[in-house]
Amino acid sequence: MPLPPSSSTFLLAIDEALTLLPGLPNDVAAHILSFLPYSHHCRLKPTCKSWYIFLSSQTLLYLRRHCLSHLLCIFPEDPHISSPFLFDPENLAWRPLPPMPCNPHEYGLCNFTSISLGPHIYVLGGSLFDTRSFPLDRPSPSSSAFRYNFLTSSWDRLAPMLSPRGSFACAAIPSSDQIIVAGGGSRHTMFRAAGSRICSVERYDVERDEWEALDGLPRFRAGCVGFTVSGDGKEKEFWVMGGYGESRTLSGVFPVDEYYKDAVVMELKENGGGKWTEVGDMWEEGERPRLGKIVVVEDEEGGRPAIFMLDDNDILRYNMALNCWQKESSVPRRAPYKSSFGFVVLNGELHVMTIVNGIDSTDTRRSRQQKRAGTLFIQIYHPRKKTWRSLVTKPPFQQPLDFSSTVMCTIRL
């Protein structure tokens, strides 16, 4: 496998003074080191100067393009004050990432969106409190955008969104190196009701670091989910599902959201987005109160993806032709009533995560921190094989994860 000019230059540069593995040419040693799991790189960099340079280079990402690890990035709290972590499910390894740059006037960031595009993680928008606003106890939506650079292990501040928003739909468009966002509002996790809603849609161009306004959603919509549908190797449609719009009050006092049962679809074009098409209700009245957590399993051949929803203890699959949800399977081990679930897709498998205590483990000498954080129990479903398996790991967090507010995204490195 020939290396690109930049990689060849790098290996030649370190060959004169440094050696990756004694007794081996650097190009061979580089291929060997590239198979090391990414989650272990931060511990291996201090081994020697040549390893630090190589494990921090663009060459490594190029060599790993055929052996990428599918990792999970977890944001347990406000990323300005609490470090996010990368989790490698294959090696049960955790790696901390540095917190985002802090603004002394802002605090309590939540309901933001994290998404990966290439070898970067983007953190967009959210809802927070600002000491410069009035009243102080009223949350405000954020328009901020950050990107984590895995080569420099640092955060970059990007151009802000045109409209501040939290709890919005978001999807990456890898074929054009863009990100699209839709809807959202100002709701904060401290206030389960109220908050603003918007219908604006924007597209971010990574190369130009610019946001472009597209046609807005047909209705105000927040708390929604977004994903793209591909065809012929390119993203053809942007789907926005569920969420809430208008609200009503009970007894004239308690605000209650009116949740959507439908979806809307935008045709993606190279010179801009197309018009929105409304899809009818996906379930009957009284079948379920609102959309559950959604994950998308991409088709390996570039066809239409498989969309799954976690509804209580059941996993449902979306039938696009019939516009309805059909039961796929049930979670083998049911969690306690009202406990929170995490739901992500890694390597084409559905991961249902929950924090439990009392799981049997070979490690009986647990620290106090691990006892406080509990045990992360992951039940894994393979959609093609229709089989379940499970794994257990000790999360490095100070407190148990609350999956109702934890933000997660996956990335291949």
DSSP string, 355-406: EES----S-----HHHHHH-EEEEEEEETTTTEEEEEEE----SS---TTT-
Q: Which two tokens stand for residue 361?
A: 């483990």
CATH class of 100-291: mainly beta
- pLDDT reported for residue 359: 47
Burial of 323 (0-12, 13-18, 19+ CB in 10 A): middle
Task: Tell me what pLDDT residue 360 has.
Answer: 43
Answer whether residue 149 shows pLDDT above 60: yes
Return the percentage of the chain with pLDDT > 90, whole number: 54
Going from N- to C-terminal start, the domains of the chain cover 11-67, 68-76+84-98+324-357+372-412, 100-291
Residue 254, pLDDT > 80, answer: no
List beta partners, residue 318. 325
Which pLDDT score, from 0 to 100, does residue 5 have?
46
pLDDT band at 382 (very low <50, low <70, confident <90, very high): very high
Position 227 scores a pLDDT of 95
Q: What is the pLDDT of residue 195?
A: 79
What element of type H or E holds 249? strand 244-250
Q: Are 181 and 113 in contact (CB under 8 A)?
A: yes
Tally helices (H) and strands (E) across the chain.
6, 29
Residue, of 348 and 61, whose pLDDT is higher = 348
Residue 189 DSSP SS3:
coil
* More confident position, 365 or 37: 37
Mean predicted confidence (pLDDT) in 188-214:
89
Residue 12: the pLDDT is 43
For residue range 284-336, list pLDDT tens digits in order. 888 888 899 999 998 877 678 999 999 989 999 999 999 999 999 999 988 77
Beta bridge partners, 390, equal: 379
23-32, 60-69, 107-116, 361-370: segment of lowest average pLDDT: 361-370
Average pLDDT score over the chain: 86
pLDDT in tens, 39-76: 888 888 899 988 988 888 888 888 887 788 899 999 99
Flag whether pLDDT at 231 surpasses 90: no
